[in-house]
Chains A and B, each alone.
Chain A
Amino acid sequence: MKLESKVPTGPIEKSWDKHRFELKLVNPANKRKFKILVVGTGLAGASAAASCAELGYQVEVFCVQDSPRRAHSIAAQGGINAAKNYPNDGDSVWRLFYDTIKGGDFRAREANVYRLAQVSNSIIDQCVAQGVPFAREYGGTLSNRSFGGAQVSRTFYARGQTGQQLLLGAYSALMRQVGAGAVKMHTRSEMLDLVVVDGAARGIITRDLATGKVERHAGDAVLLCTGGYGNVFYLSTNANSCNVTATWRAYKRGAAFANPCYTQIHPTCVPVTGEYQSKLTLMSESLRNDGRVWVPLKKGDDRKPQDIPEAERDYYLERKYPAFGNLVPRDIASRAAKQMTDDGRGVGKTGLSVYLDFADAIKRIGLDKVKEKYGNLFDMYHHITDEDPYQQPMRIYPAVHYTMGGLWVDYNLMTTVPGLFCLGEANFSDHGANRLGASALMQGLADGYFVLPYTIGGYLTGNKLPKVTTDHKAFTEAEGSVNARTKALLGANGKKAPSVLHRELGHVMWNNVGMGRNAKGLKEALSRIPEIRAEFWKNVSVVGSGEDFNQTLERAGRVADFLEFGELLAKDALVREESCGGHFREEHQTPDGEAKRDDEKFAHVAAWEYKGEGQEPARHTEPLTFENVHIAQRNYA
Chain B
Amino acid sequence: MNITLKVWRQKNASEPGALVQYDVKGIVPEMSFLEMLDTLNEQLLAKGEDPLAFDSDCREGICGMCDLIIDGQAHGPDKGATTCQLHMRRYKDGDVVTVEPFRSKAFPIVKDLVVDRSAFDRIQAAGGFVSINTGNAVDGNNILIPHDKAEKAMDAAACIGCGACVAACPNASAMLFVAAKVSQYALLPQGQPEREKRVLAMREAMDAEGFGHCTNEYECEAACPKEIKISNIARLNREFLRATLVSE
Interface residues of A (CB under 8 A from B): 47, 50-51, 54, 65-70, 72, 74-75, 84, 86, 122, 124-131, 133-142, 158-159, 161, 164-165, 168, 171-173, 175-176, 178-179, 185, 187, 210, 239-241, 273-274, 276-279, 281-282, 379-380, 383-384, 386, 449-450, 453, 493, 495-497, 499-500, 541, 543-544, 548-549, 551-552
**Contact assessment for A185 and B121 in the assembled complex, using a CB-CB cutoff below 8 Å:** yes
**Contact assessment for B58 and A75 in the assembled complex, using a CB-CB cutoff below 8 Å:** yes
**Contact assessment for B121 and A67 in the assembled complex, using a CB-CB cutoff below 8 Å:** yes
Could you tell me which residues of chain B, from 58 to 87, have a CB within 8 Å of some CB in chain A?
58-65, 78, 80-81, 85, 87
- Nearest-neighbor residue (CB-CB) of A241 within chain B: B57
Number of interface residues of B (CB under 8 A): 79
B101 within 8 A of A: no
Given contacts A133-B153, A140-B144, contact A276 B28 (CB under 8 A): yes
Smallest CB separation, A2 vs chain B (Å): 32
Interface residues of B (CB under 8 A from A): 12, 28, 30-32, 34-35, 38-39, 41-42, 44-46, 48-51, 53, 55-65, 78, 80-81, 85, 87, 89, 110-111, 114, 116-118, 120-121, 124-135, 137-141, 143-147, 149-150, 153-154, 157-158, 160-161, 184-185, 188, 190-191
**Contact assessment for A384 and B85 in the assembled complex, using a CB-CB cutoff below 8 Å:** yes
Provide the residues of chain B in CB contact with A47, threshold 8 Å. Answer: 134
**Contact assessment for A176 and B158 in the assembled complex, using a CB-CB cutoff below 8 Å:** no
**Contact assessment for B154 and A158 in the assembled complex, using a CB-CB cutoff below 8 Å:** yes
Smallest CB separation, B103 vs chain A (Å): 16
Please, how many angstroms separate the alpha-carbon atoms of A278 and B36 in the complex? 10
**Contact assessment for A75 and B63 in the assembled complex, using a CB-CB cutoff below 8 Å:** yes
Given contacts A70-B64, A74-B63, contact A165 B157 (CB under 8 A): yes
- Nearest-neighbor residue (CB-CB) of A210 within chain B: B110
**Contact assessment for A130 and B130 in the assembled complex, using a CB-CB cutoff below 8 Å:** yes
**Contact assessment for A497 and B41 in the assembled complex, using a CB-CB cutoff below 8 Å:** yes
Interface residue from A74, A86, A176, A379 paired with B141 (Cβ < 8 Å)? A86
**Contact assessment for B57 and A239 in the assembled complex, using a CB-CB cutoff below 8 Å:** yes
Please, how many angstroms separate the alpha-carbon atoms of A493 and B141 in the complex? 61
- Nearest-neighbor residue (CB-CB) of B156 within chain A: A133
A–B pairs, 6, beta carbons within 8 Å: A67-B121, A69-B121, A125-B140, A137-B147, A141-B141, A276-B35
Interface residue from B81, B117, B129 paired with A172 (Cβ < 8 Å)? B129
**Contact assessment for A543 and B45 in the assembled complex, using a CB-CB cutoff below 8 Å:** yes
Smallest CB separation, A539 vs chain B (Å): 11
**Contact assessment for A128 and B190 in the assembled complex, using a CB-CB cutoff below 8 Å:** yes
Interface residue from A173, A185, A274, A282 paired with B28 (Cβ < 8 Å)? A274
Interface residue from A65, A449, A548, A551 paired with B135 (Cβ < 8 Å)? A449
Provide the residues of chain B in CB contact with A122, threshold 8 Å. Answer: 135, 137
Beyond known contacts A128-B190, A130-B132: 5 more, CB 8 A cutoff: A47-B134, A70-B64, A133-B188, A164-B158, A276-B35
Please, how many angstroms separate the alpha-carbon atoms of A161 and B153 in the complex? 13
**Contact assessment for B63 and A142 in the assembled complex, using a CB-CB cutoff below 8 Å:** no
**Contact assessment for B57 and A135 in the assembled complex, using a CB-CB cutoff below 8 Å:** no
- Closest A-B pairs by Cβ, 9 of them: A140-B144, A179-B125, A129-B137, A172-B129, A128-B140, A125-B137, A136-B150, A497-B45, A133-B153
**Contact assessment for B63 and A72 in the assembled complex, using a CB-CB cutoff below 8 Å:** yes
Smallest CB separation, A425 vs chain B (Å): 15
Provide the residues of chain A in CB contact with B127, threshold 8 Å. Answer: 179
**Contact assessment for B120 and A67 in the assembled complex, using a CB-CB cutoff below 8 Å:** yes
Please, how many angstroms separate the alpha-carbon atoms of A122 and B62 in the complex? 27
Smallest CB separation, A284 vs chain B (Å): 11
Provide the residues of chain B in CB contact with A239, threshold 8 Å. Answer: 57-59, 63
**Contact assessment for A495 and B46 in the assembled complex, using a CB-CB cutoff below 8 Å:** yes
